[in-house]
Structure formats: C-alpha cells, structure tokens
Amino acid sequence: MNKNICKVPFGFIEINQGGGVYTCCSAYIKNGCIGNIFNQPFNEIFNSDKAKMIRRNCLNDDYSMCFNHLCSPNKDAFSFLLDSIYVGEIEYSEEIKYPKIIKFSYDLDCNVNCKSCREKIYRNSKEYIEELDEKARKYFLPILKYTDKVCLIGSGDPFASKHTRNFIKMIVDEYPNIKFDLHTNGLLLNERMLTELNIIDKLSYVQISIHASTKETYDKIVLGGGWDTLIKNLEFVSNLKKQNKVENIFLFFVVSKINLGDAKEFVNLSKKYSAECFFWNLRDWGTQYTKNEMPNEYEIYKVFKDDIFGDKIVHLNPYLHNIRNNENFLEDYFVNEINELKDKINCYENKLGKLNCNVGKIVDSLAWWIPIRKWRDGFRSKFLI
C-alpha cells in the first residue's frame, strides 16, 4: 500500500449548505460533489460513481482533481481527524462500507465576524432555525448510523448557533455513544456549555480558529471576540486533554499581513496549551480583507524560514510549506521582481523620452526670441539634458 495515499476520501464526508456532499473540503477539490443529501439516499451517495472515481484516482496516486497548492495527501486537518482512536480501520478501496467521519458545514450562524471569513456577523432567524431543525431531523440525523464521529461545523460556530445546539442534542439522544469533533472560535467552549449539551465526555478533537497570538492582533481580525475569554477556555480544554477527555486540540491560523508577526509566537501558544497548530495562506473570499491583506511570498518567507516552524506540532499547507522549504523560491521571486522593475523603468524611459521631445520644442520656440546666439545656446543647455 502506497503510504502517500490520501486517506480522506476513504473515510471522510462533508455536507454543505445546499446539501452537496463531498469526500473532503469542497474548496480543495475540483468539481468534487458526489451527490446531494436532499435528493439521493446517502448510502448511494458515498459510493456513487463520482466518489469511486475520486478514490480510484487516489489509489493510483493521481491527485489531478485536487488543488495541490492548498492541500496535499494526509497533510490537512481532516486526515488527522481520521487518526482518532474512535475511528475504525480505513478501507482503501473504491467502494467503502461507511464513512468514518461526517462533517456538517451548512450552518453560517456565528457570534463573531472573523475578517478572513466574512464581512459581518451572521445570525439565523427564528424561522430559519426551525427550517434547519426540520432538515436535521429528516436528512442529517438518520445518516449518522453510518459513521463513527460527527464533525461540527466549519461554516459557523456550533455553540453560537441555536440550531446546531439543537442538532447536538438530537444526536446525543439518538446516538449516545457517538463522538464529536468540534470546530469553534472557542468563545463559548466552556464547562457550562459542554455539560448543558451533554458532550463533555463525548469529545474527540477540538479545533479552534484563533489567527493571532496577542490580544492586539486578535482584536483587529476577530470583531466581536474576547481574547481573555478565549484564553480562559483554552486553559479549560487543555485541562480536559490532560484528563484524557479530549484526544487532541488543533489551533488554526490563517496568515495575513495583519497577523504575520504573530505566527512565531502562535507556535509557542500552541505548545502552552498542548495543541497542534495549522497554518494556511489567506485566500480571496471576496471580502475587502482578503483582497487587501494578502502578504507577498517574500514577506511570508522572512517569517516562516525560522526553525520554530519545523517543530513536529506545526502543520503548514503546501503553499506555505513550499515557500519555507524551496530555496529556489527566492531566486525565482527576485528574478520576477527585477523583471517587473525593468518593465516599469522602460515604461518611464519611454514617457520621459516623449516628454523630453516636447520640452525640446518648447525650449527652441522660446530661445528663438533671444537675440544673441551665445545667450540662446546657454538657455537651451539649462533646459535640455
């Protein structure tokens, strides 16, 4: 068995807002939808022709369907979730018995505005909560009989959303032994919330999006957040891990111009709270932040060349990894910069040449009125180089 085979399509399913089903994050795979949960039986979807084709490609070491600058086999957080003690053995075949993890990414409700994600805080209306609750009962709850773990909820915050809290309660009532992977901003990740939802002893992995290592930077990126509350909750979940009530903690960091200086200390923050840290480059989600705050490759290199980013708890996506580890990158980068500079210089030279020609005509016209040739020549020499 090729150890580089990506395990994610063989054990992971993600469902998005429109009911689309994917074998990994929809942003990482080209035209990767394998079916729609609202239109098809789930057991047919996860073994659909498209799903089997994706797995067949992986078995043949063919990742042409993936966006390889964003993800590479077994390097993203999804693959680490599958390393869980609560997950059964991965079946490396085109057709699988069931997915080991089902992730739901359809609920946008969140209590903060992370600038790298959205431009405003989004909250569900009462009517929409009722609609989502009904969909969860009808479409989502029944399919959890096919899985070992449920992952909630990359599109929003599982604790901020009333619907997702309702969904968690439904899951616990129907499947009391199922385990949870939680993806949260951490602000409501406390003992009271976990006890209320009856999942404090049902946790597998806890993933927390932070994007900063200082309050000053955090406040610039996470609008409506609370650094002190977050740190308190980090201490709480870190203690749960020490008590073996949490398998592992992942801290997430999307790199931008604003937080680039925090990246190194973020590794130390992760160590302090017994967590692993994942770094991604900022992508353009259509917000002003994602358009304006992308650092260039050399700015990234100057930070990520540090030895601390070689630590075993650090996980860089392929884009950042290649910048850090590819020495040819610097040469290519500066060659491109020099070529761009040459183009600008040539452009200015052409403009100056045209301008010089026009100035020459004006100077000659003015000099014509100077009666003495010596004075005329002196006048021209002052203005024409």
- DSSP letter for each residue of 324-342: HH-THHHHHHHHHHHHHHH
CB 281 within 8 A of CB 255: yes
pLDDT digits (tens, 9 = 90+) for 340-364: 666 666 676 666 566 555 666 766 7
CA diameter of the chain: 106
Q: According to the model, what pLDDT value does residue 290 have?
A: 82
Tens digits of residue pLDDT in 43-98: 999 999 999 999 999 999 999 999 988 898 998 899 999 999 999 999 999 999 99
pTM: 0.85
- Determine contact, residues 256/289, Cβ cutoff 8 Å: yes
SS3 23: coil
Neighbours of 325 (CB within 10 A): 13
Pair 37, 140: CB distance under 8 Å:
yes
Of the candidate ranges 138-142, 242-246, 342-346, the one whose mean pLDDT is the lowest: 342-346
Q: Using CA atoms, how far apart are residues 97 and 369, in angstroms rounded to an integer?
A: 97
Dihedral angle at the C-alpha atoms of 290, 129, 200, 231, nearest 10 degrees?
30
Which residue type sits at 266?
A: F
